[in-house]
Amino acid sequence: MIRKTKKYTKEFIDASVKLALSSPSVRSVAQELNIPEATLHTWVAKARLAVTKTVSTAEEVAVDINTLKILEENKELKKQLARLEQEKAILKKAATYFAKELE
């Protein structure tokens, strides 16, 4: 069975999220728009994460933080760290191999 994934435009998603946030029930909005409730819940959760927050640091400097951007950057850094650790393990094995060859 082939599962078809429906694509939604950015404008439709933004409008749906605004409507869901102003409505008392996400379920009712999903039914009105004829989209899966879980999909709308996912969009709303992402929108809540993407909100930019202003945080004061220890030096009393206001800094704007976009949590979604930070989470995406964190994910990329974890991937990069895993790749570098793998490279390090390979180089360590190679160094051990060549050290034995020299003996």
> Model confidence over 15-36: pLDDT tens digits?
999 999 898 889 999 999 999 9
Residue closest to 44 by CA, chosen among 59, 32, 29: 29
Residue 59, pLDDT above cutoff 90: no
Residue 5 main-chain phi, psi, to 5 deg? -105, 125
d(CA 73, CA 2): 33
Looking at residue 7, its pLDDT comes to 87
Q: Helix 26-33 and helix 10-22: axis angle, to 10°?
A: 140
Give the model confidence (pLDDT) of 62-93 as tens digits.
Answer: 666 777 788 889 999 999 999 999 999 999 99
Predicted TM-score (pTM) of the model is: 0.52
Please say whether the beta carbons of 67 and 53 come within 8 A. yes
How confident is the model at residue 70, as a pLDDT? 82
Which residue in the block uniquely carries the two structure tokens 């190679």? 94
- Where are the chain's structural domains? 8-49
